[in-house]
Structure 1
Amino acid sequence: MLIRPAQSDDNLAATSLVFLSGPVAFEHIFNRAHGPDVREFLGAEFAKSATMFSYRHHFVYERDGQVIATIGGFDKPSHDGTFIGNAKAIFTQYGLRGIAKGLLFELRLVKPPRKGCYYLCHIAVNPQWRGTGIAAQLINFMDARAVELGYPVLSLDVAELNAGALRLYQQMGFKIVKRNKSYNSVLDNHLYMEKSLDGVL
């Protein structure tokens, strides 16, 4: 078992996992009727450095040489630093429709990280390895990373109907701070959760 920073050439293995972290939302925002298949888009952006989907913001869980899980991490400055890259990539592939959908999703359901938080995203485990504690290991790893970086709070968003993930996060000390009601029948309501970190002065 190895948790390590993602590399650009992890894109093929990591793309399907990142997609699994929010398939309904990804399909809604990056609709293939207006651009490439979302997995193609995510794979290309994972291998680059400019957007929030980049390998630079992700860690992978490797077992026997295979990437079987992913997790992303941002603070407010690193997330804000991807804004222009995100906009350019989305506009190039999906036009103004993609920009509008992405902005609405971020303004209404999954908002940018707040100051003082280390935010987790794209938490996904290969279906064959679910239920083996890998997601908890990844979160614990990021917990330690956030403490090392001096952040007092770990945060994330989860679809309200994702009962398994919600249960895990609550078991790991995350508490629901806000419920963001969906503005679209395709998308679930989302819960914003935070966890106070020990070891941060």
Structure 2
Amino acid sequence: MPLSFRPARPEDVDAAIPLIYSSGPDAFDYAFARPGRNSAQDFLRRAFLHGGGQFGWRQHTVGELDGKVVAAGTIFGGEANLGYLLAAARQILGYFGLGSVGVIHHGLQLEKIICPPPKHTLYLAHLGVDPSLRSQGVGRELIEHFLERGRRAGLKTAALDVSAANPRAQALYEKLGFEVQEERVSTLPGVSSHRYMQRAI
């Protein structure tokens, strides 16, 4: 199923945010959802439209099929960690105001399970596929597109994290050559343990 890939744009927000959220709903909910006040997708939408940082449209790629956005994701390396941290802090402060302390605390707890990537690594994140097209090769095409970008950039290692509660995704990553390097056990309510996976590019 051939897709066309392009950089995301602000007007992709309605299609992209559910896909990005689907890549880790339990982690996003733990970090950004406040029952009765806002959902995690509310914050992600605001951050996507802002443009900067890990959640911004400028960092994302979308896959289109017949003109419809059906996949999304992003790639970065450890070189971006500090900039992303500062951008996230600004976005959280701007959105949550006085509630930012608790949100930042939850984010720091999550970083013990889903750690920032090392430098000189092609880290794949926010990988999402339209539910109606899963198990049809769309996820494989998205990942292969990112791996090719890593090759062109001269990187030697690709990495990602997968929830232990998502064996279907882990099976795909293993078929594409990723191997589990470490399992990080979660004690956070509602958040599954995660497995850090790598492969040579």
Range into which the TM-score falls when normalised by the shorter chain: over 0.9
The answer on 1:150 being equivalent to 2:154 is yes
Q: Which residue of 2 aligns with 1:104?
A: 109
Unaligned runs of 5+ in 2: none
Q: Secondary structure at the match of 1:109?
A: coil
Q: Which residue of 1 aligns with 2:176?
A: 172
Q: What is the TM-score normalised by the length of structure 2? A: 0.93
Task: Give how far 1:35 is off.
Answer: 5.0
Contact residue 51 and residue 58 of structure 2 kept, 8 A: yes
Task: Give how far 1:93 is off.
Answer: 2.5
Which residue identity is paired with 2:106? K
Distance 1:35-1:118 versus aligned 2 partners, 3 A rule: farther
Distance 1:33-1:182 versus aligned 2 partners, 3 A rule: same
Q: Which residue of 1 aligns with 2:40?
A: 38
Q: Secondary structure at the match of 1:156?
A: strand
Q: Which residue of 2 aligns with 1:124?
A: 128
Distance 1:35-1:73 versus aligned 2 partners, 3 A rule: farther
Q: Secondary structure at the match of 2:197?
A: strand
- Equivalent pairs, count: 196
Trace 1:1-201 onto structure 2 (pairs within 5 A): 1-33=3-35, 36-94=38-96, 95-106=100-111, 108-197=112-201
Which residue identity is paired with 1:104? Q
Which residue identity is paired with 1:133? G
Which residue identity is paired with 1:30? F
- In 1, distance between residues paired with 2:37 and 2:79? 29
* Identity across matched positions, percent: 31
Which residue identity is paired with 1:92? G
- In 1, distance between residues paired with 2:45 and 2:170? 27
- In 1, distance between residues paired with 2:20 and 2:80? 18
Task: Give how far 1:99 is off.
Answer: 0.5
- In 2, distance between residues paired with 1:111 and 1:71? 18
Contact residue 11 and residue 44 of structure 1 kept, 8 A: no
What does the per-residue CA deviation read over 1:68-93, in whole Å, with 9 as the maximum and x for residues that have no partner?
11111111122331211101111333
Task: Give how far 1:50 is off.
Answer: 2.2
